[in-house]
């Protein structure tokens, strides 16, 4: 069974109506970049990921006849330079905010909830994080951080960890400190990463290559860990 057959139930009118309802509060346009490789026949989820993001874009509100979710397909066979600019090495990758927010692997299953909520919050310009978190980022973030949230499509708690990580990276960029890369890693498609961190249950959250949380972190603990683990030049 191909990945598209496996997730055929995604592309129904019922799902599109649910997406329309979830995306209706979008305000400003959002750009999303889908990184694929037409020469890589082993990329089982590349076509599915393109199809999914175009489907979501089709369900998003429009302004002047154009969807508020702008989907850019980046093919390694033609656009290798953009892979470098976004620091993308694996396909498929779905990236926002110049790659500081990304999914490595297809954001399917439960992850669609995190994908949609990320789009809405970026569109509204609101992360939903506490004022204490915003202050901590502005005052104490001065080093580089890479967060990897290892997830599976069937994990109901993973979207909460993914969204928290993405929104912290978003607030860092809003504070002119684009120093946090938030990467949600689909474990089944990237088994080497899951094995590297010896992931037995998800979500598993690694900060600068050290697993710090199993399960959804508390916002304050998560931010404190990022500040403790940041790599200051």
For residue range 72-121, what is the model confidence (pLDDT) as tens digits?
A: 999 999 999 999 999 999 999 999 999 999 999 999 999 999 999 999 99
DSSP 8: G
The CATH number corresponding to 127-233 among 3.40.30.10, 3.40.50.620, 2.130.10.10, 1.20.120.80 equals 3.40.30.10
Please indicate whether the domains covering 1-99 and 127-233 agree at the CATH topology level: yes
What is d(CA 230, CA 233) in angstroms, rounded to the nearest whole number? 10
Helix, strand, coil tally for the chain in percent (to 5): 40, 20, 35
Q: Left if phi > 0, otherwise alpha if psi is -120 to 50, otherwise beta: which for 8? A: alpha
- Ordered by start, the domain boundaries in the chain are 1-99, 127-233
b or e along 187-197 (b: 16 or more beta carbons within 10 Å of the residue's beta carbon)?
bebbeebbeeb
For residue range 14-56, what is the model confidence (pLDDT) as tens digits?
999 999 999 999 999 999 999 999 999 999 999 999 999 999 9
Q: Is 103 helix (H, G, I), strand (E, B) or coil?
A: strand
Domain 1-99 has CATH 1.10.357.10: no
């Amino acid at each position: 069974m191909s990945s598209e057959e496996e997730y055929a139930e995604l592309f129904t009118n019922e799902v599109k109506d649910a997406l329309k309802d979830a995306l209706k509060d979008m305000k400003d346009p959002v750009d999303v970049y889908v990184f694929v490789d037409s020469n890589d026949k082993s990329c089982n989820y590349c076509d599915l990921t393109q199809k999914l993001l175009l489907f979501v874009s089709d369900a998003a509100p429009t302004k002047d006849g154009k969807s508020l979710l702008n989907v850019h397909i980046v093919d390694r066979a033609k656009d290798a330079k953009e892979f470098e600019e976004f620091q993308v090495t694996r396909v498929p990758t779905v990236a926002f905010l110049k790659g500081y927010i990304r999914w490595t692997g297809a954001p399917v299953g439960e992850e669609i909830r995190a994908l949609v909520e990320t789009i809405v919050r970026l569109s509204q310009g609101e992360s939903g994080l506490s004022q204490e978190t915003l202050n901590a980022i502005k005052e104490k973030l001065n080093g580089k951080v890479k967060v990897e949230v290892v997830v599976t499509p069937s994990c109901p708690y993973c979207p909460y960890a993914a969204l928290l990580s993405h929104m912290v990276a978003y607030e860092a960029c809003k504070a002119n400190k684009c120093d946090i890369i938030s990467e949600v890693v689909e474990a089944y498609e990237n088994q080497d990463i899951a094995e590297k961190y010896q992931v037995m249950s998800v979500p598993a959250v690694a900060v600068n290559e050290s697993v710090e949380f199993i399960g959804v972190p508390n916002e304050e603990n998560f931010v404190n860990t990022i500040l403790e683990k940041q790599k200051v030049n």
